[in-house]
A and B are shown apart, each in its own frame.
Chain A
């Protein structure tokens, strides 16, 4: 079965530290990849997406992600985190589906200490 794996389940950083969250997907064909963020008590919001083209994708709030096909990876990065980035982050893939169904990773809880 197709899957998405997030390596870090709980990350604690101080403000201004750099962030990298790992994400690997299993499907070897053409995939769409997403990072969603869920702030406490809120719904999922799209941070960024990759469909094709430039493998370095820039999203909202200073986040970016790099698609590396040879490594089946789509890691999320931010050079300097803020307290307001405290949230849960989900990587997702469309897999082989063209119906818009998403396969989610387990999620990473990020806690930023002021």
Chain B
């Protein structure tokens, strides 16, 4: 049972380069999320998708775009990477509704030089 799978696990980008982080879940969850984790700041929500076909901004959306490709997949794109986007990125999913818990992927460690 894979749960939430993220690719790649590690990436180094030069400033200005673009890349897409991929996320897929096999738990038939409706909602998916992208968070970034920075030292001393916990995890902050970048974007989320409450259901297939919808996406909404989170706390820190600037510099990112997302695509909910289908129910399973939710990708995060950096169009022009900046050093401030150096972080660990986590994808998560859960079922729709209030009393649910989120399941997290393994994370992508991104360094922008």
Contacts from A to B (Cβ < 8 Å): 4, 6, 9, 32, 34, 36, 42-46, 49, 51-52, 90, 92, 94, 98-102, 104-107
Which of the residues B31, B42, B45, B100 comes within 8 Å of A105, measured between beta carbons? Answer: B42
Determine whether the beta carbon of B33 is less than 8 Å from that of A107. Answer: no
Are A90 and B97 CB-contacts (below 8 A) given A43-B104, A100-B33, A101-B33?
Answer: no
Secondary structure type dominating chain A contacts: loop
List 20 extra interface pairs beyond A100-B48, A104-B35, CB under 8 A.
Answer: A42-B106, A43-B4, A43-B90, A46-B101, A46-B102, A49-B101, A51-B99, A90-B43, A92-B43, A94-B98, A100-B33, A101-B33, A101-B48, A102-B43, A104-B42, A104-B43, A105-B42, A106-B40, A106-B42, A107-B42
Residues 30-44 (chain B) with a chain A CB within 8 angstroms: 31, 33, 35, 40-44
Determine whether the beta carbon of A43 is less than 8 Å from that of B107. Answer: yes
**Chain B interface size range:** 20 to 34
User: How far is B99's CA from A52's CA once the two chains are assembled, in angstroms?
Assistant: 9
Contacts from B to A (Cβ < 8 Å): 4, 31, 33, 35, 40-45, 48, 50, 56, 58, 90, 92, 94, 96-107
- Shortest A28–chain B CB gap in Å is 16
Determine the residue in chain A with the shortest Cβ distance to B103: A46
Determine the residue in chain B with the shortest Cβ distance to A104: B42
Determine whether the beta carbon of A32 is less than 8 Å from that of B98. Answer: yes
Determine whether the beta carbon of B33 is less than 8 Å from that of A106. Answer: no
- Shortest A43–chain B CB gap in Å is 5
**19 interchain pairs, CB-CB under 8 A:** A4-B42, A9-B40, A32-B99, A43-B107, A44-B90, A49-B101, A52-B99, A94-B98, A98-B97, A100-B48, A100-B50, A100-B96, A100-B97, A102-B35, A102-B45, A104-B43, A105-B42, A106-B41, A106-B42
